[in-house]
Amino acid sequence: MRLLFLGDIVGRPGRTVVCDALPGLIKRYTIDFVVINGENAAGGFGITEAIFNDLIDAGADCVTLGNHAFDQKDTLVFIERHDRLIRPLNYPKGTPGRGATLLKAKNGADVLVINAMGLVFMPNLDCPFRAIDAELTACALKHGADATLVDFHAEATSEKQAMGHFLDGRASVVVGTHTHTPTADGRVLPGGTAYMTDVGMCGDYNSVLGMDTDEPINRFLTKIPRGRYEPATGPGTISGFLVDIDDATGLATRAEPLRQGPHLNPAIPDV
């Protein structure tokens, strides 16, 4: 099977480029399953139900979140209605929503998607390593799920790399999100897990992490907020990770970055 993961959607530029391009990407690459991180989709902070539905209509099979999961307060309610929208697994017990979901791919495979948040320079949640380990023990690769994707929403590259090696051979794909900057280390690890430290964002890269540059620069210079962070409004770039998975083992055989749009060098995988 073939899986596509798209990095954090930031504001309208990210939503527009993804919703416009995703149907064509699915057709061109014959993609069986699409996961998108949508935690910055609503003005850079959180997600709304309407935006979630737009992403599903465009072809997403699952939408993951992160530290901005509940910035839009309505998410506390509507997340309970959607098994295709998941927040980090290691939020405290009783947090609305779920941190993992098992969904059908277009080829009939059962795909387990897990979302977890790192601890280094991030909110103090439960241990993501133990939380994911428990989930994979309960629904192991080829003994409950035909493929498994982990979206690890974390700041520190060391923590993400440690997670990749911790899960190597137990998950089909481990991808990092949150820093909005694509890394150059997309590959298949020795045990067969496709890994990339950060997939990057879907948004306007003529920005500071997808935001208009004025307020971030002001805060670095003065340490005094002058206004809200607002998403940059230029054309968006798609940044993702395309993975081929062996149906017999559930492990990756190919892993390549996929980027198209302005500001970054393109990465266009062969069909």
In-domain check, residue 38 = yes
pLDDT of residue 85: 98
In-domain check, residue 7 = yes
In-domain check, residue 58 = yes
- Can you tell me whether residue 241 is helix, strand or coil? strand
In-domain check, residue 147 = yes
- Average per-residue pLDDT in the chain? 98
Catalytic residue among 68, 153, 178, 180: 68
Q: What does the block give as tokens for 134? A: 């428990």
| Section 243-248 average pLDDT | 98
In-domain check, residue 50 = yes
pLDDT tens-digit map of 151-194: 999 999 999 999 999 999 999 999 999 999 999 999 999 999 99
pTM of the predicted model as reported, rounded to 2 decimal places: 0.97
In-domain check, residue 204 = yes
CATH number at residue 163: 3.60.21.10
Taking the CA atoms of residue 35, residue 40, residue 46 and residue 49 in that order, the dihedral angle to the nearest 10 degrees is -50
The domain total for the chain is 1
Active site residue 68: yes
In-domain check, residue 270 = no
Alpha-carbon distances of 214 from 148, 186, 210, 232, rounded to whole Å: 40, 32, 12, 10
Q: Can you give the residue range of the structural domain that contains 85?
A: 2-260
Q: What does the block give as tokens for 66? A: 């992160």
In-domain check, residue 235 = yes
